[in-house]
């Protein structure tokens, strides 16, 4: 047996680490304790090995730069598999391979794969310590970049093993970069074995196994079986001038505005209002004893899109990244500064682009990759909600669905009730973004923003959402928003970002039973006088009407597009969804 296999007090962890080490044959095994000393040492090692480049430490204390392999810059949905016993359980929206066949294939690739490398044992806790919703995982990885990122994104090290105790109930994650070859890239989930195997990549969502793999794809199974929801959602708290706090959750597809919305800083018009961040990407939500839905953020950091982030669009994010942050695939200036398209100030006269090639403002290519990211600890967030540490979570009053849609979809409407809201979420359409490899800008259905993240049959997932209503006496109100509608000149109709506070105010006041609405074709909509437009340059009631308009012809097309997904899911599609579709058609 390899020396250093049995370093924890948990015999199940020790046995499994020994087994995987024997198979992957690393030169050394490092058990991560999550201490500051360890972080310093590993960072120095990553710098010495060229994985990280220190930024100017005066300007960017504790910040580092990382460049990925150019073939490895985003999630890869075509390489992502759900290995349930039957193909039907994974459903038509997931890639499937039988568990035994996938395991054999990947263990073959992993045999001896860590020779000459260190295998890091990364215990991590998703959720506040002591929370009934919190879960432990252990990731074995040969990537020091993954270790340092997991140290930001999760409660990593001793705290996780303490929560686990001597139990057997932990997620087993195995990750090896192999030779970072797209031909040998697989992200495979084994829900029945509580196991994830990821090979051939070193990019965030593919390899930070606590995030999309565990907290969404595996956790969606746990939620289905145990009566809760694992969702691709931000969570924020709105505090009004009277000190009242209302928490809302929001599901927008990848790179469609969750981080920005979660960190919204209200405009001057909203003096006395505050928005607190609970989470920016993932929510685990469970009915509480008082009949409300409670959410925790299982993560401790933000793996956010860099391009477009600046002091105006997202000042809180700019605060978050000031220290102890890892930047990946942005541009690097000669004086150890970072840059990306849409950052404050003029572009640097010269820098190295995300590929490491010389870049000037005349260059045609982008300096930062469109999916370049920052990885920053949430403790840096000046508007971090103190409730983020509460094991009980926060009570959710509203769920907001959204998509990136140039046309058809109005700025905001409220679903008539829970079942209608589930239909609204199930039919989200959104233009694809750089967060996943493939064509960008194609409208596709992305139900509940979970298309790439639901670990089982999407039809059963809709049924689970409908079922949840029975366990929530006082359910959140459900809304739909679209920040991305454009006018005839190809300009965004709605100013977005901090001005989204105006939409959020209406939503929160609806939940508090104070704001008016009238019945529209799609749901409840604000009248112009229900909506605070004061201080909004160039956006008046007429413009609002344009942003809110529903065109019956466009909507007939929309309903037909929805049918494509429904037809794929037909065998598992709950009848309530069909009924809602019929009701919508009748209203149109």
Q: Which helix (DSSP H) or strand (DSSP E) does residue 156 occupy?
A: strand 155-156
The Cα 146–Cα 166 span in angstroms is 26
254 contacts ligand SPV (rule: CB under 6 A): yes
Nearer to ligand GTP, 308 or 520 (CB): 308
Nearer to ligand GTP, 136 or 234 (CB): 234
Residue whose beta carbon is closest to ligand SPV: 205
Nearer to ligand SPV, 303 or 340 (CB): 303
> Which of these ranges, 11-19, 56-64, 203-211, 501-509, lies near ligand SPV under the rule CB under 6 A?
203-211
Cα of 291 vs its chain's centroid, Å: 27
Contact partner, 256, from ligand GTP, ligand SPV, Mn ion, none, Cβ < 5-8 Å per class: ligand GTP
Q: Report how far apart, in Å, the C-alpha atoms of 192 and of each of 114, 155, 206 are.
A: 26, 25, 20
Closest to 327 measured CA to CA, from 75, 52, 48, 141 = 52
Residues in 432-451 that interact with ligand GTP by CB under 6 A:
435
The Cα 85–Cα 83 span in angstroms is 7
User: Total residues at the site for Mn ion (CB under 5 A)?
Assistant: 2
The Cα 443–Cα 461 span in angstroms is 22
Question: For ligand SPV, which residue of 67, 185, 212, 581 counts as binding (CB under 6 A)?
Answer: 212
- How many other CB atoms sit within 10 Å of the CB of residue 555? 18
Q: Tell me the per-residue interface mask from 531 to 570 with ligand GTP, x by CB under 6 A, - otherwise.
A: ----------------------------------------
305 contacts ligand GTP (rule: CB under 6 A): yes
Q: Report how far apart, in Å, the C-alpha atoms of 142 and of each of 102, 424, 553 are.
A: 21, 42, 54
Nearer to ligand GTP, 160 or 338 (CB): 338
Nearer to ligand SPV, 251 or 522 (CB): 251
E strand intervals along 6-153: 28-31, 53-54, 64-66, 80-82, 95-96, 118-126, 135-141
39 contacts ligand SPV (rule: CB under 6 A): no
Question: For ligand SPV, which residue of 30, 135, 211, 510 counts as binding (CB under 6 A)?
Answer: 211
Contact 306, 373 (CB under 8 A): yes
Q: Tell me the per-residue interface mask from 473 to 492 with ligand GTP, x by CB under 6 A, - otherwise.
A: ----------xx-------x
Question: For ligand SPV, which residue of 204, 421, 455, 574 counts as binding (CB under 6 A)?
Answer: 204
205 contacts ligand SPV (rule: CB under 6 A): yes
End-to-end CA separation in angstroms for the chain:
69
Residues in 255-284 that interact with ligand SPV by CB under 6 A:
281
Contact 547, 504 (CB under 8 A): no
281 contacts Mn ion (rule: CB under 5 A): yes
Active-site residue identified among 63, 83, 256, 351: 256
Nearer to ligand GTP, 97 or 295 (CB): 295
Burial 306-341 (b: 16+ CB within 10 A, else e): bbbbbeebbbbbbbbbeebbbbbbbbbbeebbbbbb
Query: Two tokens at 184?
Result: 């040998």
136 contacts ligand SPV (rule: CB under 6 A): no
Burial class (CB in 10 A: 0-12, 13-18, 19+), 169: exposed
Residues in 510-529 that interact with ligand GTP by CB under 6 A:
none
The tokens 């685990």 sit on which residue? 284
301 contacts ligand SPV (rule: CB under 6 A): no
The Cα 294–Cα 235 span in angstroms is 11
Contact partner, 91, from ligand SPV, ligand GTP, Mn ion, none, Cβ < 5-8 Å per class: none
259 contacts ligand GTP (rule: CB under 6 A): yes
Q: Please say if 256 is a catalytic residue.
A: yes
254 contacts ligand GTP (rule: CB under 6 A): yes
Nearer to ligand SPV, 232 or 502 (CB): 232
Nearer to ligand SPV, 453 or 566 (CB): 453
The Cα 56–Cα 333 span in angstroms is 10
Contact partner, 372, from ligand SPV, Mn ion, ligand GTP, none, Cβ < 5-8 Å per class: none
Question: For ligand GTP, which residue of 267, 288, 308, 438 counts as binding (CB under 6 A)?
Answer: 308
Query: Two tokens at 9?
Result: 């007090």
Tell me the three state secondary structure of residue 567.
helix
Contact 367, 340 (CB under 8 A): yes
Could you list the residues that contact Mn ion (CB under 5 A)?
Answer: 254, 281
Could you list the residues that contact ligand GTP (CB under 6 A)?
Answer: 252, 254-260, 280-281, 304-305, 307-308, 435, 483-484, 492, 496-497, 500
Active-site annotation, residues: 256
Could you list the residues that contact ligand SPV (CB under 6 A)?
Answer: 75, 204-205, 211-212, 254, 281, 303, 435
């Amino acid at each position: 047996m390899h020396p250093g296999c049995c370093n924890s007090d948990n015999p199940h962890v020790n046995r499994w680490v020994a087994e995987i080490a024997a198979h992957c044959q690393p030169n050394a095994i490092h058990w991560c304790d999550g201490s500051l000393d360890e972080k310093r040492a590993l960072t120095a090692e990553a710098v010495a090995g060229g994985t990280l480049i220190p930024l100017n430490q005066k300007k960017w204390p504790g910040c580092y730069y990382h460049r990925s392999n150019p073939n490895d810059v985003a999630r890869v949905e075509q390489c992502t598999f759900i290995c349930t016993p039957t193909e039907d359980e994974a459903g038509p929206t997931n890639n499937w391979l039988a568990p035994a066949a996938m395991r054999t294939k990947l263990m073959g690739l992993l045999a001896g794969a860590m020779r000459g490398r260190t295998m890091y044992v990364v215990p991590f806790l998703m959720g506040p310590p002591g929370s009934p919703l919190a879960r432990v995982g252990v990731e074995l990885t040969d990537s020091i970049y993954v270790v340092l990122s997991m140290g930001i994104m999760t409660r990593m090290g001793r705290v996780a093993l303490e929560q686990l105790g001597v139990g057997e109930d932990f997620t087993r994650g195995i990750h090896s970069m192999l030779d970072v070859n797209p031909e040998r890239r697989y992200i495979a989930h084994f829900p029945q074995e509580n196991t994830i195997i990821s090979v051939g990549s070193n990019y965030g969502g593919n390899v930070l196994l606590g995030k999309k793999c565990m907290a969404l794809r595996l956790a969606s199974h746990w939620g289905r079986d145990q009566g809760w929801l694992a969702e691709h959602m931000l969570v924020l708290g709105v505090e009004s001038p009277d000190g009242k706090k209302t928490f809302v959750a929001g599901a927008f597809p990848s790179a469609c505005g969750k981080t920005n919305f979660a960190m919204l800083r209200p405009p001057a018009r909203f003096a006395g209002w505050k928005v607190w961040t609970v989470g920016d990407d993932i929510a685990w939500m469970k009915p509480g004893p008082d009949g409300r839905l409670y959410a925790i953020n299982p993560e401790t950091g933000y793996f956010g899109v860099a391009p477009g982030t600046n002091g105006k669009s997202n000042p809180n994010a700019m605060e978050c990244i000031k220290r102890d942050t890892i930047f990946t695939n942005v541009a690097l200036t000669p004086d150890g500064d970072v840059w990306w398209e849409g950052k404050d100030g003029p572009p640097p006269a010269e820098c190295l682009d995300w590929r490491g090639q010389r870049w000037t403002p005349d260059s045609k290519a982008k300096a930062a990759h469109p999916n370049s990211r920052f990885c920053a600890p949430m403790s840096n967030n000046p508007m971090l909600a103190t409730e983020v540490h509460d094991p009980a979570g926060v009570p959710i009053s509203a769920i907001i669905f959204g998509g990136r849609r140039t046309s058809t979809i109005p700025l905001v409407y409220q679903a008539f009730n829970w079942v209608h809201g589930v239909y609204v979420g199930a039919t989200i359409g959104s233009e694809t973004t750089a967060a996943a490899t493939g064509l960008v800008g194609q409208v596709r259905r992305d139900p509940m923003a979970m298309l790439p993240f639901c670990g089982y049959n999407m039809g059963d997932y809709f049924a689970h959402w409908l079922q949840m209503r029975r366990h929530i006496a006082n359910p959140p109100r459900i809304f739909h928003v679209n920040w991305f509608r454009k006018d005839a000149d190809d300009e965004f109709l709605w100013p977005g970002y901090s001005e989204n506070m105006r939409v959020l105010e209406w939503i929160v006041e609806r939940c508090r039973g104070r704001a008016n609405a009238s019945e529209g074709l799609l749901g409840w909509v604000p009248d112009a006088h229900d909506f605070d437009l004061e201080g909004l340059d160039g956006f008046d009631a007429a413009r609002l009407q344009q942003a809110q308009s529903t065109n019956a012809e466009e909507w007939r097309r929309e309903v037909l597009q929805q049918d494509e997904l429904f037809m794929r899911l037909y065998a598992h599609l709950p009848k309530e969804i069909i009924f809602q579709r019929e009701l919508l058609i009748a209203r149109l």
